[in-house]
Amino acid sequence: MYKMPYIDKQDTKINNMYYRLCIFVMLIVPFCTFAQSYKKIHRKAIVADTHNDVISSVTMHGMNIETDLTGKTHSDIARFKKGGIDIQVFSIFCNETFHKDTAFKYANAEIDSLYAIVKRNPDKMMIVTNPTALDEAIKEKKLACMMGVEGGHMIEDRIDYLDTLFKKGARYMTLTWNNSTSWATSAADESKNNLPFGTKGLTSFGKDIVKHMNEVGMMVDLSHVGEQTFWDAIATTTKPVIVSHSCAWSLCPVPRNLKDDQIKAVGKNGGVIDVNFYSGFLDSNYMKRKEAFLNSHRAEKDSLLQLKMASYEVEEWLSKKYKAEADELRPPLSLLIDHIDHIVHLVGTDHVGLGSDFDGIESAPKELNDVSDMPLVTKALLERGYSKADIKKILGGNFIRIFKANAVVM
């Protein structure tokens, strides 16, 4: 008669535990390896963000980015470090309510504010105006602080004002913001057929400004500009352009985004398109959800507008007050990568970068709560199949190339 072997219950329990432990290890090790991989790639790359509005939206409103502003803003000095950002282009911005005798002064005040912050934090930050200084900042592991003027209205139709802003450190100028200048039409105005000087595009003076920017070494930024202004600038410039914070019109058809022929033109020019993180430029359905949200708080919205707050300031205020509701409106990070994919499909990995627009937007993809979450972009690119070399280009290599291509050796 066959006799069953004796099985110790304790041994069985141990064997089961061992089996489960092996399965757990088999599952968790690849995950940990991947986590280490994307973090390592991000840490080793030179990460550049070509557009952040923290100076105009935070510093100029009395808040101190040298302190922990988590939950209040997208950015502060500690979180730039946590996000692995090596190069930050700070936007020098004022809206259309600033005119002659006020816009240029305000731009200078913002620049002076950034210099003061850097002066108080010499171990963490460094003003960068040329490739040599950039290399030094990277070597010393300091945040390379650069500046871009967001809106040609800040030079008040004077090339000598442009020269002053350049001498103070501004290294790109967005030809227009949403408002047109007397020499260039914006995307907002062209889309509404609102033409302040009767025609679309650059005037002869506008073309002279582009040529002068080429001569002194200031990058021409084509975010915010109208289509005709875009084509006039592309035909005029002799150097690669930057599109500091825009996305792909084919995926999200709003005036601020670039159509495929424009993307191809930037590629042919040798320039770079830095993808904006704003939900409304990534997700074609976001604006409908946002409109419903704003309508649900119409009384507060109208009251704030009566206080002369700009519409974008009102939207940001309501988004912070009703954070849980606003968070439900946000698209996934995958849509940001879709825009990068689209640009890469058209012109390759040499012509795309990152221009977050943090602290200038009320909504970004759900995974991107602030600048400290920038490594998640690297993770998403790796998951999408991008090579380490291409990820490094997208994270910052392409911007550095454009910066060096525009720089003028004095």
Asked whether residue 257 falls in the same domain as residue 187, the answer is yes
Sign of the CA dihedral running 329, 333, 336, 338: negative
Asked whether residue 131 falls in the same domain as residue 200, the answer is yes
Asked whether residue 194 falls in the same domain as residue 269, the answer is yes
CA nearest to 381, candidates 284, 278, 275, 256: 275
CA 238/CA 216 separation, integer angstroms: 12
The first and second tokens of residue 304, run together, are 């704030």
Q: Where are the alpha helices (DSSP H) in 156-203?
A: 159-167, 187-191
pLDDT score, position 194: 85
Asked whether residue 44 falls in the same domain as residue 81, the answer is yes
pLDDT score, position 353: 98
Residue 305: inside a domain: yes
Counted domains in the chain: 2
Asked whether residue 149 falls in the same domain as residue 212, the answer is yes
Tally Cβ neighbours within 10 Å of residue 327.
12
Asked whether residue 73 falls in the same domain as residue 121, the answer is yes
Local confidence pLDDT in tens for the 410 residues of the chain: 433 444 454 555 555 555 565 444 444 444 445 556 999 999 999 999 999 999 999 999 999 999 999 999 999 999 999 999 999 999 999 999 998 999 999 999 999 999 999 999 999 999 999 999 999 999 999 999 999 999 999 999 999 999 999 999 999 999 999 999 999 999 999 999 988 888 999 999 999 999 999 999 999 999 999 999 999 999 999 999 999 999 999 999 999 999 999 999 999 999 999 999 999 999 999 999 989 989 899 998 888 888 888 888 888 889 889 989 888 999 999 999 999 999 999 999 999 999 999 999 999 999 999 999 999 999 999 999 999 999 999 999 999 999 999 999 76
Residue 8: inside a domain: no
CATH number of the domain enclosing 107: 3.20.20.140
Residue 143: inside a domain: yes
Residue 188: inside a domain: yes
CB 272 within 8 A of CB 243: yes
Asked whether residue 209 falls in the same domain as residue 301, the answer is no
Asked whether residue 82 falls in the same domain as residue 156, the answer is yes
pLDDT score, position 323: 87
Give the alpha-carbon dihedral of 366, 369, 371, 373, to 10 degrees.
-60
Q: How many angstroms separate the first and last alpha carbons of the chain?
A: 100
| Amino acid at the residue 220 | V
Residue 352: inside a domain: yes
Asked whether residue 308 falls in the same domain as residue 398, the answer is no
Q: Where are the alpha helices (DSSP H) in 93-238?
A: 103-120, 131-139, 159-167, 187-191, 204-216, 227-236
Asked whether residue 160 falls in the same domain as residue 268, the answer is yes
Residue 3: inside a domain: no
pLDDT score, position 397: 98
CB 281 within 8 A of CB 256: yes
Asked whether residue 210 falls in the same domain as residue 324, the answer is no
Domain boundary among 330, 357, 385: 330
pTM value is 0.89
Asked whether residue 325 falls in the same domain as residue 340, the answer is no
CA 344/CA 339 separation, integer angstroms: 9
Residue 9: inside a domain: no
Q: Which domain holds residue 299?
A: 292-330
pLDDT score, position 290: 87
Residue 249: inside a domain: yes
